[in-house]
Chain A
């Protein structure tokens, strides 16, 4: 017992110290850690839907997009620049406080999650996957085209000049100086995201152990049996969609604030697929596994980008192989090889899938 506790303390200390070390090597590395934490948040959200409740959702990035655009519209000059009446009401633009944005983002995404989930409740497995994929695409097409007749999303150009997060008088977008020591903006974001991730892990863990979580897992393992045991499968599924979407919405808002810019490009189907891959690759339904998967798949590409930059791959291979191509190649290979060697994921939960039917017998 004692060793595990010291282990946890050491792990926590390492997480707190990590950006300070990375900062020495350059803000680029801290940025990677920030992005990895954002993906952990997203993957935790999707894990509620796919891992806990067993609903394959291929359109999860839609909620990420909704959160991001919501914050983008509320914290950038776009609306004031476009609409005269809006500029009259808020001459300097709407610079919404984070205390309003996060709950609102969570709420809107959650409600949309339930709304999108409702018509799909009758569907199972792969049908559900394709419908959620359709929803994701529809939202992306709208984000891409809602720049006319009324310019709401600014189309493919996206929204820029989004405010950074200000919390308790601290602007995370500016470096903080404590005496002689400077904490860079990305490091501040790191701590902020870390707090969010820890909070989410606690929420997810409590959910997993709660009555709701057990009901979800019952549905995942055998829906008919779960229904027979008196579980209200409809409400439980809607709740899973809603809660998963909440996470997506919050991380979307964080993403927008962190980047200062959002465009439809960030919310492609490929992005949804990558989040599913994180959850499955790590170990579906198992929190440490999901976190591992998210960190690996989000940080690996950036590290590879650095590696191929150092070795100047582009020159070595006559322009055919550059960092982004190499990264795609390796991610694809990793997805295939990991699944072939460990079909239950890198760090699977001991219980999950005990009663999964073998695909051979329908």
Chain B
């Protein structure tokens, strides 16, 4: 029972990270029908930037409490990542908006490789320890353990989601975003500027990805230039799982995926008598996805549209 509770906590932590990244994928997809393959790399850039800032600040100002450093690092790296994503969209995706569908896919893949390589050149390829800034003592409850970092992750996810939901549902920008996702041409006729909405979407996506990246780094304790790949892939899977283009779907998909993965890898050894180990954890996401899409091709909460992609 303790294992289950522990795996649920780990799953929620993992899942909330996937959810934040998945939101970035799903918003972009909902509006311009593009799989932004560079999104995982934005997460990586955010995490690496925050690492650099934290290391610098710890050296320059030894007395400052950890949470202030973390907050400052988070704000600065969010700005950096947002600027980066803004530029990526402008340079690599916008000129191709009316091109054959596969062209922006290739530039997105190119962007992803480019960012990884640049990060490797700038930050060197080694794994870097990510400093623990919050108290490390874990909190016991019901036989399971939760660390302050994990509590922070869950709290940050809740806050980010609340802010995003407010933004999308109650602000002018949110209405413009929903209108553009529905139909860009009609939205433009109604006075919405699709280009601006798309830029805003990329900026919001970058902020969410950076927050997720910092969570990921704090949770696992290391950063490296390839760290964006797997979470990016899983988060995209989560977005499709939930029904791509659907914000609530991305959150539900992300959290479910995190739970499935962590419970799955916690029990696979027991269930198969030790034959299969937890290193199979990476395939749960895909197996569930394939089963899911075969049964319900539009995803969990996706609209049943005959001709969507």
Contact = CB atoms under 8 A, between A and B. Distances in A.
A344 interface: yes
A14 interface: no
Given A332-B110, A340-B92, A360-B184, A127 B279 contact: no
Nearest to B114: A332
Contact of B117 (A127, A332, A334): A332
Interface residues of A, number: 54
Interface in A271-302: 273, 276-277, 280-281, 284
Q: Interface of chain A, helix or strand or loop or mixed? A: helix
Q: Interface of chain B, helix or strand or loop or mixed? A: helix
Interface string A173-216: 00000000000000000000000000000000000000000000
Nearest to B237: A130
A278 B29 CA distance: 24
A350 interface: no
B156 to A, nearest CB: 27
Given A127-B309, A332-B117, A122 B103 contact: no
Contact of B290 (A129, A134, A331): A134
Contacts of B145: none
B90 to A, nearest CB: 12
Interface residues of B, number: 59
B99 interface: yes
A135 B291 CA distance: 11
Interface string A37-79: 0000000000000100000100000000000000000000000
Given A119-B290, A149-B275, A359 B98 contact: yes
A101 interface: no
A331 B113 contact: yes
B33 interface: yes
A130 B29 CA distance: 13
Interface string B212-251: 0000000000000000000001001100100010000000
A123 B297 contact: yes
Interface stretch (B200-208, B256-264, B281-289): B281-289
A129 B309 CA distance: 11
A333 interface: yes
Interface stretch (A19-27, A236-244, A321-329): A321-329
Interface in A312-362: 320-321, 325, 328-329, 331-336, 339-340, 343-344, 353, 356, 358-362
Q: Which of B107, B117, B240, B297 has the most CB of A within 10 A?
A: B117
B32 interface: yes
A356 B99 CA distance: 9
B140 interface: no
A339 B107 CA distance: 6
Contacts of A234: none
A283 B114 CA distance: 22
Given A280-B103, A320-B121, A360-B184, A333 B33 contact: no
A159 B255 CA distance: 38
A119 B279 contact: no
Contacts of A126: 29, 33, 35, 240, 244, 309
Contacts of B34: 359
B117 A343 contact: no
Nearest to A284: B102
Nearest to B289: A134
Contact of B110 (A145, A325, A335): A335
Given A119-B290, A123-B293, A277-B106, A336 B101 contact: no
Contacts of A333: 110, 114
27 contacts: A56-B102, A119-B294, A124-B297, A124-B307, A125-B101, A127-B309, A128-B309, A131-B290, A133-B286, A134-B285, A134-B289, A141-B280, A145-B276, A145-B280, A276-B109, A277-B106, A277-B110, A328-B116, A329-B117, A332-B117, A333-B110, A335-B107, A335-B109, A359-B32, A359-B34, A362-B33, A362-B184
